Structure 1
Amino acid sequence: MVERRLLVFMLWVGVALVTGSEINCSSELIEAEYGEAVTLPCHLQPPQDATDMKVKWSHGPLNHTVHQYQDRRDDPGEQKELFKGRTLLFHDRLTEGNLSLKLSSLRLSDTGKYTCSFHTETLQSSCYIELTVGESDVIGSHIPVKAVVGDHVILPCHLEPPFDVKTLTVEWKRNKTHVHTYRHRKDDPSIQAENFKGRTSLFREEMTRGNISLKLTNVSELDAGNYTCHVPKLHSQVKRGNVTLIVEQVDNGTGNRSNHSGDPGTAAKIGISSGVIVAIIVAIIGAIIGAIIGGVLWRKRKCGERGWRGCHRVDREETRETSQEDSPERVQLNDLQNGS
């Protein structure tokens, strides 16, 4: 063990003496998201021209060749198939001792340890970098979105961590109804439900940052319900997010709002309340009509065979007699009679 450490130290000293530099990699874990690009830093310190050196990047315990540079050019001969077309060495910075590698279109299998090494005719030196490739999840909203009939509304949905989805398919549905579909870098209205046509849009400039929120214009009560944003080809366990839209109807008479969330239970409750109100109104109207009919029947019995005109004459005579009884002369006469 001591002999091995001594050998490594002597090799490092030899490299430093011959090249005047040592190779350095980042000691921090490099984290990146699926589909993104990342630069794995590696350089000679102090800076030294590496144009005439052999530079090699390898991956994993089997040291699969990721990228190789020699004889002043890239050499893809030994490159592993899964890395082809995805690696880049910065040739214009080799004169500064920059051996960093850019790796594009990251895959989950790219996770692991990478070795950066340079070779001369007599020496070789290496350093190591750990890369972790993660996944982005689709995030909706746990808080319901409220809107008034006729308003424009935004249903929030995004990828966390942020991830460019411009090349992927994005689907919005309300239950099983197709609300909006984006594929092949453009909107696809071919399967869109008729009542949503011309009223939906995505924020194209924000999609590179993982924003897939939906804008819905001219909201109606029929729009209320549960919406799902879906990225079917996303390499993640969470490909869907949910948003609930509640549509409020404003009563012009009272200024109060009634909510519509698309929930059958809510609709049933609204129907029951409306039925009770209607029953009460019908009962009041029935009572009024009954009172009117009762009054008419009572008056008819009172008038008997006299008919309506005779009944009116009786009423006038009774009214006249009452007025005479209450007159001052009648009252005085009654007092004289009582005194005698």
Structure 2
Amino acid sequence: METDLMRCFYLLLLMVICDGFHVHGPSDPLIVQLGGSVMLPCFVETPLPMQELEIKWKRNDSETLVHLWQDGESHPDSQNPSYRERAHFFIEEIAQGNFSLFLTNVTREDAGVYKCAVYTKHNSDEILIEIKEIERLIVSGAHVISAYAGEDITLNCSVDSHIPAENIEQVSWMKMDGEILVLLYEHGEVHTDSSHERYMDRVEMFSAEERNKGNFSLRLKDVRTDDKGLYTCLAFSGAFSDNTTVEVQQLGFSSMQVGIFVLCALGFVIGSLILGYFSYTSFKNNDDSRRALAIQLGHVICPNITMVIVFILWGVTDGFLTEAATCSALNGVRILFLLWIALHLKTFEGYPRQIINRLAIQLQYAVITVVVYSPIVVDVWYNVDTGGKMFLLICLLLGPLLTLLYILYVITTMCRGRTLQKRASLSYIITELSNCLRICVIINIYRLHPGLLALALIPFLAWICFISHYYCKRVFFLLCILLMILEVLSASGSIYVHYAIADNVKEHDALTCVTAFLQILTTITLFISIKYLSGRVSDSRNTGTQQRLSHLVVFMFGSVVVVLVNVVVLLVELILKAQTGQRTVDLRVVLLPTECVFAVCCLALQISAFWKKNREGVIKDIDWLGLTCGCKPKHRDSPSQCDECELENLAPEAQPSGS
């Protein structure tokens, strides 16, 4: 009887102990990061006997077996294949009642409700754990695009996230080479004004409806050869970020670029070579007929106008408007330069000759100055106050305005049949004033050291020295030498100021070449003014054979070689950009030095002609200065004696009477 009572007591005690087993888990759903790891808690407070223990982890929605513990060990072979090697028990802690599951490399399919069921011989319990949300930010769309220049293309970028697309913080498109920002989406808005100037008004995203679906693809319009390369679509949302890349390659030439090739070839072959040959023949044969004049004009105008059109088309297709404008202006004003040289080759007579001689260099200086410096002023216009804007307007417009008034004055005076001898200094004075203002503008815009403003006084000193000829006519040619020294100092100072610009290396190289070219034009203007002020040089045509030959060589250099350099540089740039998708060099850095060489040749012809025609005047001025200073001049043969000696040397020897 006692034995039966004890047996019932132990049985009741065991039932009480077993009835205390209860499975615990998290009270809230879990939020998991995509690709990360997560622990699904499942435990009991009192350890259970290991011999009778069975643990099953299943998907509650599909009864898919995630993991199994049975007979004192785990059974990974029984797992569903999608969870194999990803779901693990904490084996060492099972004996202490920890039945949690560790899930690695979480995917979007892992979201859902999981059931942790614990079984013993006499009891069982279970708990549900929910993975409510898979935090993710996946950017996809990597692909390769091949296109022709001028086409519109779409760069795919799809963003998959656990948050609504309109709440994504930022999506940016970048061009990898150079880290150029193509387009920016931030806080629900597309910031088109943030795009780099190369892509301004050429890029856009899809509609807001498409973006809310995660479509952040980029539409790139009017593709250019320098658009070739890798593009990255980078998305940010909180601590998450991801990106994808799109490659644009195999950009063929557009119809516009093919037209550029054709125009370059026709312009150079027909305009420079064929017409150049006939022009050279007419010069050589002293042909003054209308046909010869038409050929010469065609040789000057056709290739240069063609290159003007070509560079404009290149600027439109490739988007380098400032660079294209400078190159077009150089080719356009070269016509004036060539016509000015042609004056020495018996090309023009009468009023056309006088107008070209007076205005060609001055107009060339004004055009290049306005074209090159206007974009710089426009860039800083909105960053300066009213006083700064007034300063920029005065500095920018005063020189060209005075040049325009001077041109009108010259044309009006010549049409009325009056001489310009007394106003020959106006062109040089206007040019030096423009030089002074140009230096002031650069120093002000780029915030250079104020002490550099002293360099702007050098053109002013040259101007003072130039107008002093009215009071020091006795030493006029000595003043010319002093003017040359001041011009060298002015050119050095101006080049130094432009080279001191450190904000943009590419721009400061181009501006340095521009200022060197403008200083050469200034010196040429000086000699043109001296020619009329000296009173010792007429405006007659150059009839010397040697001088005429040198002018012809320089003329052909400017009309053939310089045009050839422009053609070759542009075509090489187009071909290299089509292959690599990147710029090789700023064309201005190549073309401006070539133009400077041409201008220096013209200046050398002027200096040579000035010395040959005014050598005696310079010697007389030096002798007068020596006498004034108390120095005894060296004995020189009088001009008549020299002429007699030369005649005696040139006279033929007496011949025998019978010869």
TM-score, normalization by structure 2:
0.26
Which one has the bigger strand percentage? 1
Which one has the bigger helix percentage? 2
Higher relative contact order (CA 8 A, sep 6+): 1
TM-score, normalization by structure 1:
0.47
